[in-house]
Amino acid sequence: MKLTIFNTPIISPILRFLSNSIMRLAGWRVEGTLPNLPKYLIIGAPHTSNWDFLLFLGVIFNLKANVSYMGKAELFRNPFGWFFYWCGGIPVDRKKSTGLVEQTVEACNRSEKFILTIAPEGTRHYVSEWKMGFYHIAKSAGIPLVMAIVDGKRKSMSVGQVYHLTDNMDADLKAIKGFFEGKVGINPRKKYIVLKD
C-alpha cells in the first residue's frame, strides 16, 4: 500500500493526535463516518476560506481515511514532488491529449482502493455554479459520491451521505444540491449558491 501522510507509521498517529486536539480547541467537530466502500469521490463544500484545507486535513485524520486529490503535474517534480505524492496527490498533466477527467478515471481504474476529494467550486470566492468535473469523473468511473458538508454556523463537518448517480443528470444535480442547501462555510459573509438549476 502506498504510504501517505494519512497512513505512515509513527508520523501519522502523531499528526492525527495533534489535528484532533487542534479541532477540539477550535470548537469544530466531525459528524458521521465514511462508507466502507473501495472507491468513491468526496465532494466538500461550501468552500469559502483558506482555512478549509486545514479543516479538511483535520476531518480526514479524524476519520482515519487515506484519500487522494488532484494536482497539476508541475507540483510533483523534484525537489519537492515527493511531498505532494506523500500528501496523496495525483498528478494531472494539462498538456496531455487526454483531459483531467480521463486521467483521473484512469488512476481510479488502476487502483484497488480509491478515495478522491474535490472542492467542486474550484475556488473559495463566490461562484454561481460548480465546475462539473466531479460529476463526469464519478459517472465515467462508475463510483458514488460522498458528501462532506461544512456548517460554519455549527462548526461541524458532516460526512457519510452516499449518492449513486443515475442516468438523469438534472435529477442528480437537484438531489446533490439538496444536501448542501442552506449551509454556509467558515466565512459566512460569502454568498453561496450550490448549483445552477
Give which of 156, 183, 124, 161 is closest to 40, Cα–Cα.
Answer: 161
Write out pLDDT tens, residues 15-74: 999 999 999 998 999 999 999 999 999 998 876 666 677 788 888 899 999 998 887 788
How many residues can be counted in the chain?
A: 197
For the cut 90, the answer to whether the pLDDT of residue 91 exceeds it is: no
What does pTM read for this prediction?
A: 0.82
The pLDDT value given to residue 27: 92
For the cut 50, the answer to whether the pLDDT of residue 118 exceeds it is: yes
Give which of 24, 20, 19, 63 is closest to 40, Cα–Cα.
Answer: 63
The SS3 of residue 9 is coil
Quote the CA–CA distance of 183 and 157 in Å, as a whole number: 11
Point out which residues pair with 162 in neighbouring strands.
146
Question: Which class for 104: exposed (0-12), middle (13-18), buried (19 or more C-beta within 10 A)?
Answer: buried
Task: Find out whether 146 and 35 touch, Cβ atoms under 8 Å.
Answer: yes
Higher pLDDT, 189 or 63: 63
Give which of 18, 11, 46 is closest to 189, Cα–Cα.
Answer: 46
**End-to-end Cα spacing for the chain:** 41
Point out which residues pair with 72 in neighbouring strands.
92
- For residue 36, how far is the Cα from the chain centroid? 17
